[in-house]
């Protein structure tokens, strides 16, 4: 179930994609605490196979969530509009058609500014909390301000003025991180039980340029520098996007995150790939700094069609 801020009631939305406004706006929802604590609210959406066939492919969408818990909006230094640069704008609208090919798709509904489900549980900046928390040695992401609970906005503005209560770690993990990974693991296990193998495809979006203003490819594929995907399969995926007329790069500057690393090993039945889609392909303003993101409906439809064909391609490839 999902909470609809428009009519302030609980409405069923499982398996449905959130609507894009007529002007292309990707609307957010601020979720009241009483709704978040309700068993009727779900932090994720699952698009299951609609053809009674389970494909040997599972899709993941961890960063497109537009649900902003009130506990975040009430304590953060920044307004929601300034937090939105952390979103993978509109990716959930690009992938819902995968279900018609038997591909189960797991979508995180919760904004990345609240918790990043593409980080391990120990990826914490201990300086953010009022009392000690268990944290791993800081990774480059954590040191940069983008750990499990982000410290900064996409424009490197602090999200909080005061330290967070340490109990927020367990609360946010239990609210969004654990359910997401439990569901993703269950769907991968089901696909593997059916076929003996499973390919996880982790979908993201990226700005048109990197931090040095270098123009990025249309599609960046990541296999953690060759660690999570067989080379032959990677070459086939490259050829698919080439044939669609899209430019392709591998592993630079996005090689794959926690989800990709966790669910794939080259040469094994469990493999994975991260796909970064250039937002200039479907957004009116694709920069990280955009505060009111607008999709272009015609271009959303076109790129969703490409991803739909990609799903059919993968299923055929993995079943043969």
| Domain harbouring 20, CATH code | 3.40.630.40
Count of domains observed in the chain: 1
Q: Would residue 298 count as lying in a domain?
A: yes
Q: Would residue 34 count as lying in a domain?
A: yes
Per-residue pLDDT tens listing for the chain (320 residues): 232 333 222 222 323 345 687 789 999 999 999 998 899 999 999 999 988 899 999 999 999 999 999 999 999 999 999 999 999 999 999 999 999 999 999 999 999 999 999 999 999 999 999 999 999 999 999 999 999 999 999 999 999 999 999 999 999 999 999 999 999 999 999 999 999 999 999 999 999 999 888 999 999 999 999 999 999 999 999 999 999 999 999 999 999 999 999 999 999 999 999 999 999 999 999 888 888 899 999 999 999 999 999 999 999 998 86
* Host domain of residue 76: 2-117+161-319
Q: Would residue 106 count as lying in a domain?
A: yes
Q: Would residue 78 count as lying in a domain?
A: yes
Q: Would residue 147 count as lying in a domain?
A: no
C-alpha span between 117 and 138 (Å, rounded): 17
Q: Would residue 140 count as lying in a domain?
A: no
Q: What is the pLDDT of residue 14?
A: 28
C-alpha span between 13 and 1 (Å, rounded): 5
Q: What is the dihedral of CA 262, 234, 303, 108, to 10 degrees?
A: 0
Q: Would residue 67 count as lying in a domain?
A: yes
Q: Would residue 37 count as lying in a domain?
A: yes
């Amino acid at each position: 179930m999902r909470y609809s801020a428009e009519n302030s009631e609980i409405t069923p939305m499982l398996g449905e994609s959130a609507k894009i406004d007529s002007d292309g706006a990707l609307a957010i929802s601020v979720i009241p605490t009483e709704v978040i604590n309700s068993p009727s609210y779900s932090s994720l959406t699952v698009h299951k196979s609609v053809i009674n066939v389970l494909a040997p492919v599972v899709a993941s969408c961890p960063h497109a969530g537009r649900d902003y818990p009130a506990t975040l909006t009430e304590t953060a230094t920044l307004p929601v509009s300034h937090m939105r640069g952390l979103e993978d704008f509109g990716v959930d609208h690009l992938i819902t058609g995968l279900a018609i090919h038997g591909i189960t798709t797991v979508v995180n509904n919760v904004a990345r500014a609240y918790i990043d489900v593409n980080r391990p549980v120990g990826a914490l900046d201990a300086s953010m909390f009022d009392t000690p928390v268990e944290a791993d040695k800081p990774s480059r992401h954590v040191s940069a301000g983008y750990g499990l609970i982000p410290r900064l906005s996409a424009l490197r503005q602090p999200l909080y003025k005061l330290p967070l209560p340490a109990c927020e770690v367990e609360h946010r993990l239990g609210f969004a991180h654990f359910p997401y990974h439990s569901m993703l693991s269950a769907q991968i296990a089901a696909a593997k039980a059916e076929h003996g193998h499973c390919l996880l495809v982790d979908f993201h979006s990226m700005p048109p340029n990197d931090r040095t203003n270098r123009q990025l490819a249309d599609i960046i594929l990541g296999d953690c520098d060759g660690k999570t995907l067989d080379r032959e399969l990677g070459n086939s995926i490259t050829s698919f996007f080439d044939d669609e007329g899209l430019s392709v790069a591998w592993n630079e500057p996005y090689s794959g995150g926690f989800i990709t690393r966790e669910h794939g090993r080259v040469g094994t039945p469990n493999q994975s790939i991260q796909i970064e889609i250039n937002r200039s392909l479907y957004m009116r303003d694709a920069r990280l700094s955009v505060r009111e993101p607008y999709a272009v409906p015609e271009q959303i439809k076109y790129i969703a069609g490409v991803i739909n064909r990609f799903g059919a391609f993968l299923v055929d490839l993995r079943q043969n």
